[in-house]
């Protein structure tokens, strides 16, 4: 009961929980398309690719306002997307290797820039890295506002282009034959995932981001056979794990929020995989032992 009142009245906890919930909804819903398009690791690459953007944005403006850093992260995530598409389309490098190359090269450049900033600037740069490794405990109301605006924008685009995203995800060739250009739709969808990633960096951090995109979608897929329901349910699971992780992390001293969000999510995934009606693995075992 105490936790519940805290959730509403405690400033820090409210911001942590809200931030994590916004992230969960956005990444869950967008992740559904990524998972169905077999791009479960795209989020991981885009998250790492955000680092040089954050550093360059800071170097250019000297500002640490969330909007500026978000923008920097988004731009370099977007550039990474285009580079990735280029490598996969135009060279013999397979998607898996291309993801790894883009991820590590962008991150390497980012680290170089980050150390450069750390060594050459005054104390002002402190906290730059929290945009990368997620320190939910320091999420401010301003951060939450920025995240919410970005998230609402991304979800609006999904709502408007839902039909197009669906057909492109299910049958890209057919979609293209109808005139829905899969290249552009793919870029739009990936750009929206960049938005989700940018929100996630601040809350759960670069390493854990891929789970925020993949986990809710995988869990939701087990419970339903309809895309609409899957997308909504994934948003719900994402929010649920966000709030649960936030609550667990404050209920006990010294527990980091991001990892607790991911562990909550992992529990949801495991339950879904085991027990979901029809698709649950346990039902398979039961059917098997009966036969």
Partner 1 sequence: MEIVITGILISVACALLGTFLILRKMAMMSDAISHAILPGLVAGYFFAKGPDLFAGFLGALVAALVTVTLVEALKNTQRVGGESAIGIVFPAMFALGTFLVARFFENVHLDTDAVLFGNIEFVAFDRLFIGDVDFGPQSYYVAGALCLINLLFITVFYKELKLATFDAGLAATLGFSPFFIHYALMALVSVTSVGAFTSVGAVLVVALMIVPAAAAYLLTDKLPMMIGLAAGIGALSAVLGYGLALAIDSSVAGAIVSVAGAFFFAAMLFSPSHGLIAKARRIERQRVQIGLEALLVHLLNHEGEEGEAHESEMLHLSSELRWLPQFAQQIVGVAANRGLVMQLHGHLILTDNGRRQGQQLMVH
Partner 2 sequence: MTTSTSFPLAVHDLTVVYRDKPAIQDVDVNIPAGKLTAIIGPNGAGKSTFLKAVLDLLPRVAGTVEVFGKPYRQQRQLVGYVPQRASVDWDFPTTALDVVTMGTYGKLGWVKRPGKAEHDLARQCLEQVGMADFSSRQISQLSGGQQQRVFLARALAQDAEVYFMDEPFVGVDALTERAIITLLQDLRQRGKTVVCVHHDLDSAPEYFDWVMLLNVRLIAAGPFDSTFTAGNLRKTYGGAMKAAIDHFAHFEQSKG
Q: Where does this chain bind partner 1 (CB under 8 A)?
A: 35, 38-41, 43-44, 48, 87, 90-94, 96-101, 103-105, 107-116, 119-120, 129, 133, 207-211, 213-215, 217-218, 221-222, 254-256, 258-260, 262-263, 266, 269, 273, 279, 281
- The answer to whether 163 contacts partner 2 (rule: CB under 8 A) is yes
| Cβ count near 9 (within 10 Å) | 9
30 within 8 A of 213, measured Cβ to Cβ:
yes
Q: How far is CA 161 from CA 30, 156, 158, 181, 188, in A?
A: 12, 9, 5, 13, 10
Which residue intervals of the chain are DSSP H helices?
A: 2-9, 11-36, 42-61, 66-90, 95-120, 130-133, 141-160, 162-170, 172-177, 182-203, 209-223, 227-251, 257-275, 281-290
Nearer to partner 1, 99 or 198 (CB): 99
Q: Give the residue among 53, 66, 102 at the shortest CA–CA distance from 81.
A: 102
Q: Determine the Cα–Cα distance for residues 129 and 199; give it in Å rounded to an integer.
A: 14
- The answer to whether 287 contacts partner 2 (rule: CB under 8 A) is no
Which of positions 170-189 make contact with partner 2 (CB under 8 A)?
170-171, 173-180
- The answer to whether 275 contacts partner 2 (rule: CB under 8 A) is no
The least distance separating partner 2 from the CB of residue 283, rounded to whole angstroms, comes to 15
Q: By CB under 8 A, how many residues form the interface with partner 2? A: 27
Q: Determine the Cα–Cα distance for residues 274 and 129; give it in Å rounded to an integer.
A: 38
Q: Determine the Cα–Cα distance for residues 205 and 262; give it in Å rounded to an integer.
A: 11
- The answer to whether 225 contacts partner 2 (rule: CB under 8 A) is yes
Q: How far is CA 169 from CA 30, 142, 266, in A?
A: 12, 35, 25
* Span near partner 2 by CB under 8 A; candidates 7-15, 103-111, 136-144, 154-162: 154-162
Those residues with Cβ within 8 angstroms of residue 30's Cβ, 6 or more apart along the chain or in another chain:
154, 158, 189, 192, 193, 195, 196, 213
Nearer to partner 2, 143 or 164 (CB): 164
Judged by CB under 8 A, which of 230, 244, 250, 265 binds partner 2? 230
Q: Determine the Cα–Cα distance for residues 118 and 8; give it in Å rounded to an integer.
A: 37
The least distance separating partner 1 from the CB of residue 189, rounded to whole angstroms, comes to 16
Nearer to partner 2, 7 or 161 (CB): 161
The least distance separating partner 1 from the CB of residue 44, rounded to whole angstroms, comes to 6
The number of residues in the chain equals 291
Q: Determine the Cα–Cα distance for residues 223 and 229; give it in Å rounded to an integer.
A: 9
Nearer to partner 1, 235 or 245 (CB): 245
The least distance separating partner 1 from the CB of residue 152, rounded to whole angstroms, comes to 25
Nearer to partner 1, 108 or 127 (CB): 108
Nearer to partner 2, 96 or 228 (CB): 228
SS3 call for 79: helix
The least distance separating partner 1 from the CB of residue 149, rounded to whole angstroms, comes to 26
Nearer to partner 1, 172 or 259 (CB): 259
For residue 276, the 8-state DSSP code is S
Judged by CB under 8 A, which of 15, 125, 210, 224 binds partner 2? 224
Binding positions for partner 2, rule: CB under 8 A: 36, 38, 160-164, 166-167, 169-171, 173-180, 221, 224-227, 229-230
């Amino acid at each position: 009961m105490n936790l519940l009142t805290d959730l509403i009245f405690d400033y820090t906890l409210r911001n942590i929980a809200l931030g994590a919930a916004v992230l969960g909804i956005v990444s869950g819903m967008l992740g559904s398309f990524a998972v169905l398009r077999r791009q479960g690791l795209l989020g991981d690459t885009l998250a790492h690719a955000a680092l040089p953007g954050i550093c360059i944005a800071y170097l250019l403006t000297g500002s640490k306002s969330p909007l500026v850093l978000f923008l920097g992260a988004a731009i370099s995530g977007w550039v990474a997307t285009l580079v990735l598409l280029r490598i996969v389309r135009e060279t013999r490098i397979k998607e898996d290797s291309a993801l790894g190359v883009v991820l590590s090269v962008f991150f390497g450049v980012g680290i170089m820039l980050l150390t450069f900033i750390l060594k050459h600037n005054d104390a002002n740069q402190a906290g730059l890295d929290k945009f990368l490794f997620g320190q939910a405990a320091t999420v401010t109301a301003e951060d939450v506002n920025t995240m919410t605006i970005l998230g609402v924008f991304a979800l609006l685009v999904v709502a408007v282009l839902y039909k197009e995203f669906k057909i492109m995800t299910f049958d890209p060739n057919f979609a293209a034959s109808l005139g829905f250009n899969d290249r552009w739709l793919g870029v739009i969808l990936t750009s929206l995932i960049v938005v989700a990633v940018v929100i996630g960096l601040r809350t759960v951090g670069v390493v854990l981001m891929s789970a925020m995109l993949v986990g809710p979608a995988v869990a939701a897929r087990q419970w339903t056979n309809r895309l609409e329901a899957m997308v909504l349910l994934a948003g719900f699971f994402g929010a649920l794990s966000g709030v649960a992780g936030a609550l667990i992390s404050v209920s006990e001293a010294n527990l980091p929020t991001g990892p607790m969000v991911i562990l909550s999510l992992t529990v949801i995934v495991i339950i879904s995989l085991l027990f979901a009606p029809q698709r649950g693995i346990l039902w398979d075992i039961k059917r098997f032992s009966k036969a």
